[in-house]
A and B are shown apart, each in its own frame.
Chain A
């Protein structure tokens, strides 16, 4: 009787045998995502030597370490803005296309290939004997091969190749969620293309763009394989994930590595909160057709 009423009370709150099916998923994510993260947080405050803040003091007193935040932002911020700004007009065009699928399928290739493959591809393609330099030399634009790999530009270009399709496809999914009738109404009332974009489309697109920027930024901020393979990992592309990796797997200083990982997460959270906060400032109520 007691168990029956307990069961009934639970069921009234929506908990029964079916609800318990969430447990495998929840337990898994708790065990392999939340627990390691909290473990890393605690570990970062238990340095191998010194007080509880020693890892963070070490990071912020060594320019070789703290400069990586600035270096990474110098790569991640421009490429995020470039990819997103390019994505909007392209997505607005492609939206009107009848046969989008071939183009979207081609653009999904670099995402599928992944950063390592794109890095190797660009090493061959952009290298001194690659097709791009061949083209520039034949054209007479350059007298000697342009150096595009093993420096800042190599990493930048790899982030464009991997990142532009991502921001484009995400923007496209938001753009197609906007009811075309709204833009037609604007056109009928005499708004030119420019006015329709700035007064109608952009405000409706703003929430989606904030999310696109946030996702594109965190991806670019954690650039790793291409910064090693295509960049100058000892110099201008010594990004924060490289020092975190080196602390963990070359110096075996897991507490310091955890501290760097936590700082990486912190920078990402700050940027995301700022972007999503800006989103609520410009958000003017739902007008999309539910797809975005």
Chain B
């Protein structure tokens, strides 16, 4: 297939869009990192000097140790609970046809299709009336709303891949539901569970809206604390906010790198594809 000049020009144009996007993205990340180490930075390409002082400042001023502990607690609880609720539900959805199954499927799709801020406001209202919002449990419950259906939808195809005869054999040998899960299904489903839970982890670290609407002063995660820091910019030097942003970026990107060992990048967005 020979290519005409017009096709070549078109290809160059398309690649320029990609290169332009990636260069600006990397420059955006780079400027945050450089600024977080910079001393004074005015009309030059790079700051006048470099210093780690903004990190020690951010560490103390933004109470980063406390925030990191809360973030770890929230994310850990969300990962474990969404796995515990989601995997058995996905198993039943994959293996049984029951009346009303399409409606149940729609029920699991909706929290993934509706943007968090839309349902987050009524949900936060209910959680405040139940005296759960403001505490770490309110934040965990709010974050579970999209992650439980997410785990279910990711796990259904993984369950469908397993040969039902394996389960039938386990049943014949007298395994109950509990042993079937712990000794047969979970080992077979490990790759899927790992992928689903890593994606939940990455998404929960970055989940701003739901955490923001339900968190109190002692239940802020890193991303919400970063929002408040940027919101109140001017109170503290911009470099210390960028230092906090770098801490946040490192936290998310390390987990993204780990997740990418097990999942395809397109899986991160195609969760709700129908």
Asked if A pairs with B, the answer is yes
In the complex the two chains form, is B122's CB within 8 Å of A258's CB?
A: yes
Which A residues, 272 to 292, have Cβ-Cβ distances below 8 Å to chain B? Answer: 292
Residues on A close to B: CB < 8 A?
13-22, 24-26, 28-30, 32-37, 39-41, 43, 86, 89-90, 93-94, 101, 103-125, 129-132, 134, 161, 164-166, 169-170, 172-173, 187, 193, 211, 215, 218-219, 221-222, 224-225, 228-229, 241, 244-245, 248-249, 254, 257-258, 260-261, 264-265, 268, 292
- Residues of B contacting A161 with CB < 8 Å? 24-25, 28
**Which among A34, A40, A111, A228 is the interface contact of B125 at CB below 8 angstroms?**
A40
In the complex the two chains form, is A172's CB within 8 Å of B266's CB?
A: yes
**Which among A89, A115, A117, A166 is the interface contact of B269 at CB below 8 angstroms?**
A166
Q: Is the CB of B245 closer than 8 A to any CB of chain A?
A: yes
**Which among B14, B125, B223, B245 is the interface contact of A121 at CB below 8 angstroms?**
B245
- Residues of B contacting A172 with CB < 8 Å? 266
**Nearest chain A CB to B114 CB, angstrom units:** 7
- Residues of B contacting A117 with CB < 8 Å? 206, 223, 226, 245, 248-249, 252
Chain A binder among B15-23, B55-63, B67-75, B187-195 = B15-23
In the complex the two chains form, is A108's CB within 8 Å of B265's CB?
A: yes
A13 and B115 CA atoms in complex are apart in Å by 35
User: Knowing that A14-B98, A40-B121, A170-B269 are A-B contacts, what are 15 other residue pairs whose CB atoms are under 8 Å apart, sorted by A's residue number?
Assistant: A22-B104, A29-B145, A29-B149, A32-B141, A39-B122, A41-B122, A93-B14, A113-B249, A121-B31, A134-B43, A170-B270, A211-B273, A248-B125, A249-B213, A292-B273
Q: Which 10 A-B pairs have the closest CB atoms?
A: A40-B122, A25-B89, A114-B206, A104-B265, A21-B92, A222-B115, A14-B98, A36-B123, A21-B88, A125-B28
Given A93-B15, A101-B265, A116-B208, residue A25 in contact with residue B245 (CB < 8 A): no
In the complex the two chains form, is A86's CB within 8 Å of B17's CB?
A: yes
In the complex the two chains form, is A29's CB within 8 Å of B107's CB?
A: yes
**Which among A18, A32, A170, A241 is the interface contact of B144 at CB below 8 angstroms?**
A32
A123 and B234 CA atoms in complex are apart in Å by 13
Residue pairs across A and B with Cβ atoms less than 8 A apart, 27 shown, are A14-B99, A17-B177, A18-B92, A29-B145, A32-B123, A36-B126, A36-B127, A86-B17, A94-B18, A101-B265, A104-B264, A107-B22, A108-B269, A110-B25, A112-B206, A120-B245, A121-B29, A121-B245, A129-B41, A169-B270, A218-B113, A221-B115, A224-B208, A225-B209, A245-B121, A254-B125, A265-B118
**Nearest chain B CB to A96 CB, angstrom units:** 10
- Residues of A contacting B98 with CB < 8 Å? 13-15, 19, 22
Counted as pairs of residues, one from A and one from B, with CB atoms less than 8 Å apart, the total is 269
In the complex the two chains form, is A215's CB within 8 Å of B256's CB?
A: no
Q: Is the CB of B136 closer than 8 A to any CB of chain A?
A: no
Residues on B close to A: CB < 8 A?
1, 7, 10-11, 14-15, 17-18, 21-22, 24-32, 35, 41-45, 85-86, 88-89, 91-93, 95-99, 104, 107-108, 110-111, 113-119, 121-127, 141-142, 144-145, 148-149, 152, 177, 202, 206-209, 212-213, 223, 226-227, 230-231, 233, 238, 241-242, 245, 248-249, 252-253, 256, 260, 264-266, 268-270, 272-274
A249 and B270 CA atoms in complex are apart in Å by 33
- Residues of A contacting B111 with CB < 8 Å? 29, 33
Closest to A23 in B: B89
- Residues of A contacting B233 with CB < 8 Å? 123
- Residues of A contacting B92 with CB < 8 Å? 18-22
Q: Is the interface of B mostly helix, strand, loop or mixed?
A: helix
In the complex the two chains form, is A224's CB within 8 Å of B209's CB?
A: yes
- Residues of A contacting B264 with CB < 8 Å? 101, 104
Closest to A145 in B: B43
Given A40-B121, A112-B256, A222-B117, residue A29 in contact with residue B108 (CB < 8 A): yes
In the complex the two chains form, is A103's CB within 8 Å of B18's CB?
A: yes
**Nearest chain A CB to B95 CB, angstrom units:** 6
Given A105-B260, A109-B256, A161-B28, residue A131 in contact with residue B45 (CB < 8 A): yes
In the complex the two chains form, is A114's CB within 8 Å of B121's CB?
A: no
A13 and B32 CA atoms in complex are apart in Å by 59
In the complex the two chains form, is B223's CB within 8 Å of A116's CB?
A: yes
- Residues of B contacting A39 with CB < 8 Å? 122, 125-126
Closest to B245 in A: A120
A132 and B274 CA atoms in complex are apart in Å by 39
